[in-house]
Structure 1
Amino acid sequence: MYRNQSYVEPTAQRGQQVGDTGTYYVKHDFGGTAELTTTLAHAISDVTGVDVTDTGFTLNDHVDPEALDELFKPRDDGTPRIDGHLSFAIWGYQVTVYSDGQIAIAPPNQPPRAQQGPGHQR
């Protein structure tokens, strides 16, 4: 799969940074037991260093988790959704979730002026 002109080998739950962009990639397994948003929350935690159990960490402030899980979930007959993606920002990071389960988290171009997330002070 190609994202940001770098080849990304499909991965399980373990993410990786590719190329000079510092973009972090992880692939969600729709056949597994975890929801897409669980994989996303752990990926954001890996990138930001904010623990997913931190009470200040919530996807609800940035995206509707239930809607995101349903958006890219395979159809009832098991066929995958294709050619879709959703992008949004979390604490200055650009998050893109693709219909095939690929998640890309690009770091901010420069440190945000506002608070970056729970536990981070200016």
Structure 2
Amino acid sequence: MQTGCTQHNYRAELIPNGNADRAARVNKLFEGKSSSRESKYGRIIYGGGVNVGDLLLATTAVNVEVDLFGLRAPRRIITFFDAENRTWAETMGAIRSSFVADGPVTLVLERES
């Protein structure tokens, strides 16, 4: 996924045959069948794909908590990263901080209807 910058808010452009592009094409096969619900913020779609023009608002990120005295083993903590008004490097760093073992990365996107 590539993005275009709008005042440090990032809009998606899908790289042909990239992960996001392939996921979006698969998702179109199931269009209308994904679980969703209405909220005061609009429609929330679970398991939806990224579309061209989506605005990235937030993502999950993983931090490692280390006990400086060595009494506890380091542990991985999944956090919420607000991507608005952040640099591209900060936002991509948050997305890259996750490993497959951490589970899926969640993106919060705004989409024009």
More strand by share: 2
Q: Structure 2 length normalisation: TM-score?
A: 0.26
Q: Greater RCO between the two (CA within 8 Å, min separation 6)? A: 2
Q: Structure 1 length normalisation: TM-score?
A: 0.24
Greater C-alpha Rg: 2
